Each structure stands twice: as structure tokens, then as C-alpha cells.
Structure 1
């Protein structure tokens, strides 16, 4: 492939990520040369999501130039895929009318996400310049609590009255189809806009033209309320394989829909928060790798201080049993092995339980059953690991009492870790706290303290010190 030759995605056999990087590098080279027609031609066959990623990888000074090469419709589509930090940067670089044209054509839910990242003064200015219908839709979403269905829903949907005939409905769809984010379903309401049913386009096409919607609609509608947590919305869409779910207010009036593409964003966001919590890192909405070192350190230092405080318990236990270690110095060599093994078992148990809680495959009612299963698993793991460690310790030290002390301690620690790792997330959940806060590092610290105590207590008993 020539260095600056435009290409088609359909003709390429390389991976998507490689293709995006190729587009980015060629786009940067063309912009440096001032070859704007070539750069514009390069982007023609590329999908909006890939264009957005390629622009994000450009030097900041080139991002606005590359964005201006897109047609108006392409620019609107690409803008919605850009990272919020790049969106903000472009707002300051583009002319007021360019910004207004893009923001006004964005879907309301995407526009709200952008406004969440912008300074309040800029948001007020943009709201004042939006068209009346878009300003009303955006203001509606901004009035709901962050993280709820009302905040992530879109007001671009098709709703019809239940007393319309099929022919009247089809004619209305022809008029309003361009204003809806999805046209797979029609939401049916009564005269007070209360949600009464749903009609698929399949049902609409095969029905008689004179039939009323009230005769063919499905009345058993799955819906959520405006204050429903966004994670629960995602689970409902996933469970029932929905393309979208309608959102109603306290009086059951239809006010919006949440679509499956919004749910994918939610799933990624919630999974990221849980992973950060499991690693003892303060979660955030922006890209962690774009932060400066001081911000990155701030998001990690809080948990590290908590864990540091917890780990002082291990030091206190060792200091209290110092005479045991002085009499049998070899015992100290196995402390890292024992606490690391216990931490690993605890982390595994907590991970599977937290995952089950998030997916709603287990709940508080099944806590005893899950903890029992994990405890038995811990017993089995402890026996297997303990036997292996007995042979290893005997090989290293040549002392059966020391080997038995290490092996039995590992068995006890594995059981303790399994119980702690599976039980503590349920405890946090029952207290109304996020189970993910019982992160792997925190459980490891707890197991470390108790594990060392068990080990040195058993050593004193078995070795008769």
C-alpha cells in the first residue's frame, strides 16, 4: 500500500485496531503535508466510530483540522463517538455555529452526557441556542438524577394513540420516522399519554388496515421508571433481549426509551467501576490513562492508606509472637508463602461472589448456600495445597513438625480466606454498601493478619514452644 493512498475498509484483511492506527498515521502524515483533499478522501470509506478513534490519536492541534474535513452529517455521527475530553476540546476550537449545528443534531441522551462534562456556563449558552424542541428534551433529561433511567433515556421515539387504525398509524410513521432513534416498535398510549401497550412493525404490517391498535397491541409491556437505576435497566434489557425499553414517570406516562446501544455504554461503565474497586482504585468517568501522575496517584492513594493501616495488624501479630520466631527462625521463611496463598484464595472467592451479585445470579437469600459451597471449596483447596506444602517444607527444612505446622496452617488459612472472600460481599450488600468495595487487596489484608496469627499460634502448639 502506498504511503498516502486512500483505501477501503472492505478491501483490508487486517484487524480493526490495526486499521484505525493505519488511518491515524496516514491522516497525520497528510495533514502535516497540507494535503487536505487527500486526507478527506482517506476518511470517506471509514466508519464513524473508527474515524473518531483515529482523530483521538492525533496531536491536539490536528484534531479540529481533521474534524473540519468531515461533511456535516459525518461530523454529527463522529462527534457522538469521541471521548468527552476531545469533545470539549473541539467546542473551544470550532466556530460557534459549527458547534451549535453539531450539538443540536445530537441525540438528547448523548447531548446530556456531553453537557455533564462541560462547565455550567458553556452548558447554559448552548442550551439557549438549541432549537426549542431539542432544548426541551435536553432540559428534561438534565432534570433527572445521574445514573437513572431518566438521565440516560432518549426522547426520540414513536408513540401513537391506541384508538388509531393500522392505516392511520402507518401514515403517521411515515411522517415521524426521521424523528425516532428506533423504528422497530411503536409505543401505544392513551389520551393521557399513559403507556398501555406496544406494537411491533411485524404486527402492524400483517394486520388489517381498519383494525385499531388497541386490538393488535401487546398489553403486557416491560418498562422501567425514570428513577430506576441504570444498571437495573441494563439487566432488564439483557434478560428480555430487548432492543429498547420504555421509561415512564410516576403516573405511568411515557417519557422516553433507553436503547440497547446506551446499555452497552452502561455495562462498560459499571464493569469499569467494579474492576477499579476490586483493585483498590477510586473510579472515575474519564480515561485513567489520560490523567496526569498527580491525579492518578490521588485516585489510588486513599485505598493504599487504608490497606497500609490494615497491614499494620500483621506487624502487630508478628511482634507479639516474636519469641516464637526467635526460637524457630525457619518459620519466618514460610510467612510470605502462607499469606500470599490465603490472599489468592480470598480474592478468587470474592471475585466470583461479586460477579454473581452484579449479574443477579445470586442474592442475599442464597448467601448461606454460596458461603457453604465456597467453604467446602476452600477445604478442598486447603487440603491439596497443604499436602504439597508439607512435602516442600520438609524438603527445605528436614523437620516434620515444621512441615506439619506450615501445611496445617495453609489448610486453615485457605478455609478462612474462602469464608471471608465469599461472606464479606454479602455482608456489605446487606448493609446497603457496594460489594465491590470488598476489593481483593482489602480481603487480602484481612486474611494476612488472621493468617499470620493462626500460623504462629499453631507453631507454638505443635512445636510446644
Structure 2
């Protein structure tokens, strides 16, 4: 592999060393090939694809960015395009089609056999983030009344065309899921033993319409390498494998990070996303935050008389603002992550309230002492120091509680909790912090006004 990575594919193509390049490519894993061609222009990538074994070519093509895939498809001869599309896994093929214009998808569907076309269209008809969209129909099933001997013969006959052979799915005469067992169960059992005697008769499964995040949580909780997917009548229609879930985790994590940064979700990687698309993904949120932050100015302006009489209060506006946003941002990030992994539910809100109330008081008390010491450097007026300290304590406590409960509120009104984190919650906390700060200051310092 190290040798392969060191080879300059571009020079081999320029010097016409295609036979040597082909021999080299045959020995490489798809991930290595992908690394070897990532800096090449499309015309030279096209040459590499002509030299790759068809199975490897399909896998490498799957891992390319959508814009690269579209460009290559326009350059491929029809026979090569057909070969790659045919050799892709159904779930990968659906993911590709999902990103492409309808006219291109229609043309690519014509490359498939009637059976593969039917499979692909079936998967495309499931909701975008459902188990049905990411499952593969290439699973290994056995009949519950089969003997171990017959089952092993069946595996030898069809196993090389399936996604995995390590987990087997037992079905009845109506193709309904009856149980699950491992290949090792067959290997270490008597040849005359029936499958139904070995299988787990209460298997974990999901239906085609369940959300892919639920699929991930189930596979994580039960340490599964493959999870059966059934229709509404418990007929086995596909499986989700661990490699599919790794892609789901990456996609969901990327999406959450983008939302928490108040950026619209983009499907492509940064370098493969156009400038205009990146601008569009950010400008709406920046305008929204600008409008909300402008409201902070109105609050400050409303207390201009207070600031004119007690000017030192202005020096602590950035500190109060920052601590409110930081506190709310911290707890919202913790809560959103806990919600995503199923660690907390709406039913836990009472426990969360008491816990975060105590945490807010402790954090606020610690920070209040530091604030008092900092304020003492600027003024020795006890009432001003008390005003600043009381404001900070209330802001910390309020921010902590709001940051904890806003994700639950967002989920209840069908908004992704990640949306209210990051810049958005910081801006909301700015509004609240300034309102609290000047309200407390006005009450405690009324004798100075």
C-alpha cells in the first residue's frame, strides 16, 4: 500500500505505462485507489476507471463527490457507465440517484435489469431518512425448517452475492421474519439440527419507515453488525449493515455541527460546494442573528439614562452578555448530545430541572465571587458591586435552565434541537442578559438615579 501511495499515477499515464498501472491498481483496496486519484483531473480519473476491476470501480465511484460523479458519467462511454451502475450496491445506488437531476436518473435506470430497476425504485420511494432508504436487499435468508447441512449448502451457493454471511435471517413460508442466528451457530452444530432450534426466536428488527437515527441507536445498543428490516406485516425486505450506519453517523454529525453553527445544511464537502451555495447556507442565519442582536441595542438604548448616571455599568455589558451566551451554549450542547444518543427523554425534564438548578446556583456563585473581585478593581461602591454580582447570578441561572430546556421545546414543535444551539442561543441569551442586567441595576441602584 505504501508503494502504491508513492506512485505518481499522473506520470504513469503521461508515459503510457498503463499496463503497469493496471497491475498496480488490481492489488489495491478501493480506499487506496481513492487516495491515489483524488488530485487527478477528470480526464485522467476516467483512464484509471477503465483500468480498474469492475467491482473496485463501483466502490470507488460510490465514494466520489456528487459533482465528480456527474462529470465522470458524462465522460464515460455507455458501456462503462452501465457496468459501474450495475455493480453498485442498491443502497449506494439510491444515494447516488437521490443527488442527481431527474433526467440523469431516468437515463441511468435504463442501464439496470428489470429486477435491479424495481429494487432501486422501491428504495427510492421510501422517506429520505428512513431505514428503507439505507437498507440493502442482498441479505442471506434461510428457512426455519431447514437443517444445518442444507443451510450451509445454501450459503455456499448464494453467499458470495450477499452483503454479509455472518448473520443469517430465518423466514417462514410467507417470508415473515422468524428468527436470527450467526454463521458460527451452524458451523459448530450437528448437520441434522434444524435452524429453528438454533435461532433467536425474538429478533431485534425495524420496519422500513423507521427513522435511520433509531436504526443507529438500536444497532449501537445491541451491538449488531446487521439489522433486519421488515414491512408492516413483518415480511423481511432487507437489512442494514454496520457500514451503512457509519455513513449515517457521519452524515448526522456533520448536519448537527452545521446547524449548531447556524449554517444551512450542505450535502457536499466544503471544496465541492460552490461559493454561492455556501453563501446561501449562511446568509439567512446571519441576517436573523443580526436582527435579533439589533434588539439588544434597543434594550440598551432604553436604559440610556441609567448608563449616563452610572457609566461604569457600560464596562460590564460585554461580560454579562458573554457569560449568558457561554452558559446557555454549554448546557444546550450537552443536552442536545444527550438527546441524540438517547441518554435523556422528555420524561426526564423534572430531574433535569432540579439538577440544572443546583448546577446553575453553584456555577453562578463561583462566577459571582470572581465578578465581585473584578468589579472592586473599578469601583468600591458596594451597591454597584452587589448589582453586578446579583445580575450575573440571575443570568447564569436563567441561561443554564433555558439552555437545558430549549432543545426539548424545539423537539416538541418539530424543530431539530441542534438549530437552537450555538449562535442562536447565544443571541437569545444576549437579549435576556441585558434585560436582567438593567432591570436588576435599576432596582438596586434606584437611589443613585
TM-score by length of 2: 0.94
SS, match of residue 190 in structure 2: coil
Give the match for residue 15 of structure 1. Answer: none
Inter-partner Cα distance in structure 1 for 2:25 and 2:385: 67
Q: How far apart are residue 321 of structure 1 and its match?
A: 0.6
Q: How far apart are residue 162 of structure 1 and its match?
A: 1.6
**Count of matched residue positions in the alignment of Structure 1 and Structure 2:** 447
1:90 matches 2:79: no
The answer to whether the Cα contact below 8 Å between 2:65 and 2:272 also exists between their aligned partners in 1 is no
Please point out which of 405, 411, 436 is paired with 2:393.
411
Q: Which runs of 5+ in 1 are unaligned?
A: 1-7, 12-18
Q: Deviations over 1:182-229 (max 9, x none)?
A: 000221111111111122111112222222222222101000001010
Q: How far apart are residue 83 of structure 1 and its match?
A: 2.4
Q: How far apart are residue 77 of structure 1 and its match?
A: 2.7
Give the match for residue 111 of structure 2. Answer: 129
1:204 matches 2:191: no
Q: How far apart are residue 148 of structure 1 and its match?
A: 0.5
Q: How far apart are residue 38 of structure 1 and its match?
A: 5.5
Please point out which of 123, 132, 142 is paired with 1:150.
132
Q: Deviations over 1:211-255 (max 9, x none)?
A: 222222210100000101011001111110001100000111000
Give the match for residue 390 of structure 1. Answer: 372
Inter-partner Cα distance in structure 2 for 1:27 and 1:376: 62
Q: How does 1:322-337 map to 2 (within 5 A)?
A: 322-337=304-319
The answer to whether the Cα contact below 8 Å between 1:189 and 1:254 also exists between their aligned partners in 2 is yes
Q: How far apart are residue 33 of structure 1 and its match?
A: 5.1
SS, match of residue 269 in structure 1: helix
Q: How far apart are residue 37 of structure 1 and its match?
A: 4.7
Give the match for residue 284 of structure 1. Answer: 266
Q: How does 1:222-301 map to 2 (within 5 A)?
A: 222-301=204-283
The answer to whether the Cα contact below 8 Å between 1:343 and 1:443 also exists between their aligned partners in 2 is yes
The answer to whether the Cα contact below 8 Å between 1:420 and 1:443 also exists between their aligned partners in 2 is no
Give the match for residue 320 of structure 1. Answer: 302
Give the match for residue 345 of structure 2. Answer: 363
1:461 matches 2:404: no
Q: How far apart are residue 338 of structure 1 and its match?
A: 1.0
Q: Which runs of 5+ in 2 are unaligned?
A: none
Give the match for residue 416 of structure 2. Answer: 434
Q: Deviations over 1:349-371 (max 9, x none)?
A: 10000111111100001012113
The answer to whether the Cα contact below 8 Å between 1:56 and 1:83 also exists between their aligned partners in 2 is no
SS, match of residue 228 in structure 2: strand
Inter-partner Cα distance in structure 2 for 1:59 and 1:121: 25
Give the match for residue 201 of structure 2. Answer: 219
The answer to whether the Cα contact below 8 Å between 1:56 and 1:86 also exists between their aligned partners in 2 is no
Residues 286-295 or 95-104, more deviating: 286-295
Q: How far apart are residue 67 of structure 1 and its match?
A: 2.8
Q: How far apart are residue 143 of structure 1 and its match?
A: 2.0
Q: How far apart are residue 41 of structure 1 and its match?
A: 5.6
Please point out which of 68, 71, 96 is paired with 2:53.
71
Q: How does 1:333-352 map to 2 (within 5 A)?
A: 333-352=315-334
The answer to whether the Cα contact below 8 Å between 2:140 and 2:162 also exists between their aligned partners in 1 is yes
> Structure 1's 373 and 29: CA in aligned 2 closer, same or farther, altered over 3 A?
farther
SS, match of residue 211 in structure 1: coil
Give the match for residue 155 of structure 2. Answer: 173
Inter-partner Cα distance in structure 2 for 1:456 and 1:149: 52
Alpha-carbon RMSD across the aligned residues, in angstroms, is 2.0
Residues 236-245 or 199-208, more deviating: 199-208
Please point out which of 130, 154, 159 is paired with 2:141.
159
Q: How far apart are residue 121 of structure 1 and its match?
A: 1.7
Inter-partner Cα distance in structure 2 for 1:191 and 1:100: 36
SS, match of residue 282 in structure 2: helix
The answer to whether the Cα contact below 8 Å between 1:342 and 1:447 also exists between their aligned partners in 2 is yes
Residues 258-267 or 297-306, more deviating: 297-306
Give the match for residue 118 of structure 1. Answer: 100
Inter-partner Cα distance in structure 2 for 1:40 and 1:321: 75
Inter-partner Cα distance in structure 1 for 2:429 and 2:247: 35
> Structure 1's 30 and 400: CA in aligned 2 closer, same or farther, altered over 3 A?
farther
SS, match of residue 229 in structure 2: strand
